[in-house]
Amino acid sequence: MDQDPQSSVQQFHWQPNKKLLVLVFFLFPLLILLGFWQLDRADEKSAIVAAFSANQQAVPANVNTLLEGGNQQYRPAWLTGTLDSSRQIVLDNRVKNGRPGYEILEPMSIEGFEVAGQSQTVLVNRGWVPASLDRTQLPEVEPVIGEVQLRGFLYHNLRGGYRLDDQITVVLQWPSRVGWISVERAEELFGEPFYEYQLRLDSDSIGALETGWVTVAVQPEKHTAYAVQWFVMAAVLLVMTLIANSNVGSWIKQFRRP
């Protein structure tokens, strides 16, 4: 009597490798977490790009506009005041097109610019200059003399990012080379209140050095692609775990036999 074909079908067997399963137990959630982290980064960068596009189309702000408050990030601004080149911040480790250099920042006083009864100084980022091979030699930048109208856009440091701990709390000599700068830190270094946004100069503004500001270093689409890669790796890990801990390979092959 012929044997029933169904009775000869090999059964699926789960053959767990405990050490391998423990490794997968830690790796799989990590891969999923990294995927969602990249999606969050994509959403964050999309919001930044959207804010940039919206505020860049606004009418250039002046002192009266700044006093109105609200989100001014990336908004064009034309401000008239006097730059203080005697108190200059030299922002270190600013690489541009593969070349090491600095960004030059100076305080600008604006007559009548007060918030809550306090005069406000505006931190002006004039742009990038190349660094000398001699690290002890700071760049010499031509000063801007007298009252001038500066043109640029408003900027507040984004959250996160790398900060070089220079351990500077008090400036003993100007110009001062620092590893990072923000408006809040400028208040500490200069010892006076600053407006909450700095002014990054346009390339055609008086006092501008080399500009070409980058809105976001990594575009949202790239973060999304990174997220897909992490999720694919998690799926591959599950498949490999199934193969390594069972007879699924031979079990599937028997159904492909003629």
Q: How far out from the chain centre does Cα 247 lie?
A: 47
- pTM for this entry: 0.67
Q: Output DSSP code: residue 84.
A: -
The DSSP line for 108-164 is EEEEEEEETTEEEEEEEEEEEEEPPSSTT-PPP-PPPPSEEEEEEEEE-PPSS----
Provide the pLDDT for residue 7.
47
pLDDT digits (tens, 9 = 90+) for 127-160: 999 998 888 889 999 999 999 999 999 998 866 5
pLDDT greater at residue 27 or residue 143 = 143
b/e sequence 73-110, b meaning 16+ C-beta within 10 Å = bbbbbbbebebbbebbbbbbebebeeeebbbbbbbbeb
The type of residue at 179 is G
Which residues sit opposite 129 in a β-bridge?
102
Both tokens of 125, joined, read: 């980022």
Both tokens of 103, joined, read: 């960004």
Provide the pLDDT for residue 1.
44
pLDDT digits (tens, 9 = 90+) for 79-137: 999 999 999 999 998 888 889 999 999 999 988 787 766 678 999 999 999 998 888 88
Tokens 């029933």 — which residue? 4
Question: Which helix (H) or strand (E) covers residue 48, if one does?
Answer: helix 18-56
Both tokens of 169, joined, read: 């709390």
- Dihedral (CA of 12, 17, 22, 26) sign: negative
55 pLDDT above the threshold of 70? no
Residue 249's pLDDT band (boundaries 50, 70, 90)? low
